[in-house]
Structure 1
Amino acid sequence: MQIKLVAVGSHGDVLPFIGLGAELVRRGHAAVLAAPAPFAQLAARAHLPFHALGTRADYERTVAVPDLWHPRRGAFVLFDQLAPTTEQTYDWLARTSAPGETLVVASTLGLGARVAQDKLGLPVVTVHVMPLLVESRHAAPVLPGIPLAHVLPSRLRHWLGRGADRYVIGPAALPQLNALRERLDLAPVRRLRHWWNSPTRILLMFPEWFTAPQADWPAQAAQVGFPLVDRLGDTPSLSSELSEFLAAGPPPLVFTYGSAMRHGQAFFRTACALCRTMGRRGVMLAPESGQMPTDLPEGVIHVPYAPLSVLLPRAAALIHHGGIGTVAQALAAGIPQLVVPVAFDHFDEGQRLQRLGVGAMLGRRRFTPGRAAQALNRLLASETVAQACAETRMRMTREDGVSAACDEIERLIAR
């Protein structure tokens, strides 16, 4: 049986699937990955056959839209750009797959796989890499764009989420999705966040101690743990320049606003000022130098990419956007985190870190050198935070989310 992996999104969405594919190939399975074109080289490095969805220009055009990073308007940008990928995914699966010979493992936004399941009868495993994507009345996630959502009762957050389905997510996603389904003689989807869950199997790639399982989750869901796969990224090791910088002084603060962010100039300006205010060294991670101030302070270095699993154990703290992959790497390193959320799941992840006692959160407008210094000084001086970070680091050493997910996929194949 061939396993077709479909991953739509940025590094945090695609790298887990490269990890899954590499492990499945190592176990002797025939696997191929369909993902945005910029990830072809990473798949090749992992010896994973690759099918490009769209072009590199398509991907860059999407991440360059400023409103993609707006807590509410981002949904319209995301799903508008996603529509061609959905049809491309369906067409690829329709041309190359057959029931009984193919298993599809798809990310949340790999909607073309769910269309193929409905039209062609292909078995599909849906993979959610973040808790935000799983609805629950009892423990509703914190959605972006809702003021003070974290202080609201869970049932009220869930009710507001249903409102978001009707007035934001539905209008953004369903017209183009249902136009494709109509051409295929399929009934329209009424609510995306219900339909995107495959009835075959759902894998939740976060552990129970981070997000407790809920009685109203789908019965076909299985929790498998975080996928720590950053060494499958742009490079598996630190550059010589960064290695020399780390060896030349005390552990620095590390700053990142995500691999897909192209509008982080204000964040990195504040980051540089924060390093000066605190008298600390800093590492700025950003794929494009245009986001950096032209006059970096002494003791601050910019690098386009570094594997966090290698860098963060040598850092004092991580200041970032709140993406789930970045969160998991800092938990594994056992260092405090300050989250400056942008959109999507970032607000929800920040709240979870605060509940675990390993981090704090500042809104973008409140992210100033003075306020950030106060928050970081509290985190770095707290024995309670240090103990909580050490506990999460130990928990992470006992888990292997990629291996556990592959075990679930093999059990499904055996059935």
Structure 2
Amino acid sequence: MAERYDVALVAVGTHGDVLPFIALGHELAQRGHGVSLAAPAPFEAMARRAGLAFEPLGTVADYEAVIRQPDLWHPQQGFRPMFDYALQVVEATCLWLGATRARGVDLRVVASPLSWGARLAQDLYDLPTATLHVMPFLIESRYDPPRLPGLALPRILPASWRAYVNLGVDAVAVGPFTLPPLNAIRARLGLDPVNRLRHWWNSPSRMLLMFPDWYAAPQPDWPAQAVQLGFPLVDRFGDVPAMPPELDAFLAAGEPPIVFTYGSAMRQGAAFFDTAVQVCQRMGRRGVLLAPQGGQIPKPLPAGLIHLPYAPLSTLLPRSAALVHHGGVGTVAQALAAGIPQLVVPVAFDHFDEGRRLKDRNLGTTLSRRAFRPARAARVLGRLLADPVVARATAAARARMAEGRDAIARACDQVEALGAARQT
């Protein structure tokens, strides 16, 4: 076993951002390292169930205030509430890491891209730090630029032009409200200003990319410190670690259902789930509706449909026919592992980019929120379920996912190598 040391994990975001860190921490703890997770307060129970010490970033009320903002689910404005939250916890994160270091702890840090306090601590204290990315959307490239939410540039445009537009969006929409407060903190600490947020938030030491090369091919201009590891399948660390008995009974009672989810943080999904009910009725299919808040679900539900706040997708989706969802990368990965087609109804963030990647690989397709209506959605799902090209592509994806299930273990190897490099 590698030499024992302490690892501080810092994750800012929702379930899809935080659960991979909990899985990583669990594996590192199994290897004998001391592990602490700093994350939004609602994730404390999940972290402690995985055996991790926990440092809350803000309160439960702070987190709820963010995810209840309607702008969070706006294609162009969605990033702002989450970036505001990231700014709120910068100093607390940096102080926590500084205090840990001051106790003489041999410390390594793994941080999400929005964990700016960890990058600040790296610059201030020279802490060995890796940035962990769960989505290709946040990796810039002139050769394969990600599709930004609400910005449907024609694919016929050269990639370099689309990348240039992306840079312009950063400069106009992101920099003006994030860089001044961030640089004010840096100035107080005696650090030079940051010019581009999406360049600086990557650790110059190591970047761990948690998606496979067959889903997002490595590009010549990716940072040299980037290491591609594969999808983490980590839902066993989520709200419910096992299949709820009522769902198990429902699945056993009939044909595989269509599963509908709009993400763990969604609070404005009533129209989506209303359409979901009508789609199932039009198609004569059973359906599973996953939503943390029952207020989003029509009542009473017709026969053949069931609502649950949460279910482990790793056990649900292999017994399902298709998945309709927002396009979060963690949900995408679970459907790929199950080998079922996906219909993405994108909202914000990386959803549009993930939908484009699925469509390009014949693994599913997309419908805009406006186009997601019962008749059209039923037709699209019917075509996906009947298309032999989609069936072959999803079967191939399932096989590839089965071959790459040790992504978390490989990420742990990289963290241990980061520590070893520090000691030489």
Identify the match of residue 9 of structure 2 among 5, 8, 16: 5
1:178-219 CA-to-partner distances (Å, cap 9, x unmatched) read: 121122121111110111111110000000000000110000
Query: CA separation in 1, counterparts of 2:125 and 2:99?
Result: 11
- Residue 415 of structure 2 is aligned to residue 409 of structure 1: yes
Q: How much has 1:414 moved relative to structure 2? A: 1.7
Query: CA separation in 1, counterparts of 2:99 and 2:403?
Result: 41
Q: How much has 1:76 moved relative to structure 2? A: 2.1
- Residue 59 of structure 2 is aligned to residue 58 of structure 1: no
Name 1:257's counterpart in structure 2. 262
Query: CA separation in 1, counterparts of 2:156 and 2:236?
Result: 37
Name 1:395's counterpart in structure 2. 400
Query: CA separation in 2, counterparts of 1:103 and 1:149?
Result: 43
Query: CA separation in 2, counterparts of 1:20 and 1:164?
Result: 33
1:370-391 CA-to-partner distances (Å, cap 9, x unmatched) read: 1111111111001111111110
* Cα pair 1:7 1:35 within 8 Å, conserved: yes
Q: How much has 1:149 moved relative to structure 2? A: 5.0
Query: CA separation in 1, counterparts of 2:182 and 2:199?
Result: 14
Identify the match of residue 272 of structure 1 among 272, 277, 280: 277
Query: CA separation in 2, counterparts of 1:279 and 1:355?
Result: 29
Query: CA separation in 2, counterparts of 1:151 and 1:364?
Result: 24
Aligned residue for 1:364, secondary structure, equals coil
Name 1:204's counterpart in structure 2. 209
Q: Check 1:379–1:59 CA distance in 2 against 1; reply closer, same or farther (3 A cut).
A: same
- Residue 95 of structure 2 is aligned to residue 97 of structure 1: no
Identify the match of residue 238 of structure 2 among 227, 233, 236: 233
- 1:402 alignment partner AA: I
1:301-355 CA-to-partner distances (Å, cap 9, x unmatched) read: 1000000000000000000000000000000000000000000000000010011
Summarize the alignment of residues 177-326 of structure 1 with structure 2, pairs less than 5 Å apart: 177-326=182-331
Aligned residue for 1:365, secondary structure, equals coil
Query: CA separation in 2, counterparts of 1:175 and 1:334?
Result: 46
Summarize the alignment of residues 140-151 of structure 1 with structure 2, pairs less than 5 Å apart: 140-148=145-153, 150-151=155-156
Q: How much has 1:411 moved relative to structure 2? A: 1.5
Query: CA separation in 2, counterparts of 1:303 and 1:100?
Result: 43
TM-score normalised to the size of structure 2?
0.96
Query: CA separation in 2, counterparts of 1:410 and 1:116?
Result: 20
Name 1:72's counterpart in structure 2. 76
- Moved beyond 6 Å, runs of 4+: none
* Cα pair 1:142 1:149 within 8 Å, conserved: no
> Cα RMSD over matched residues?
1.2
Aligned residue for 1:97, secondary structure, equals helix
Q: How much has 1:402 moved relative to structure 2? A: 0.5
Query: CA separation in 1, counterparts of 2:86 and 2:418?
Result: 29
Aligned residue for 2:370, secondary structure, equals helix
Name 1:162's counterpart in structure 2. 167
The answer to which of 250-259 and 164-173 deviates more is 164-173
Identify the match of residue 332 of structure 1 among 333, 337, 342: 337
Q: Check 1:363–1:7 CA distance in 2 against 1; reply closer, same or farther (3 A cut).
A: same
* Cα pair 1:252 1:280 within 8 Å, conserved: yes
Query: CA separation in 2, counterparts of 1:148 and 1:162?
Result: 14
Query: CA separation in 1, counterparts of 2:47 and 2:86?
Result: 21
Query: CA separation in 2, counterparts of 1:189 and 1:133?
Result: 18
1:232-285 CA-to-partner distances (Å, cap 9, x unmatched) read: 111121111111111111000000000011111111111111111111110000
1:19-42 CA-to-partner distances (Å, cap 9, x unmatched) read: 000000001111111111100100
* Cα pair 1:254 1:318 within 8 Å, conserved: yes
Query: CA separation in 1, counterparts of 2:24 and 2:295?
Result: 33
Query: CA separation in 1, counterparts of 2:9 and 2:409?
Result: 15
Task: State how many pairs are aligned.
Answer: 415
Query: CA separation in 2, counterparts of 1:353 and 1:151?
Result: 18
Q: Check 1:296–1:172 CA distance in 2 against 1; reply closer, same or farther (3 A cut).
A: farther
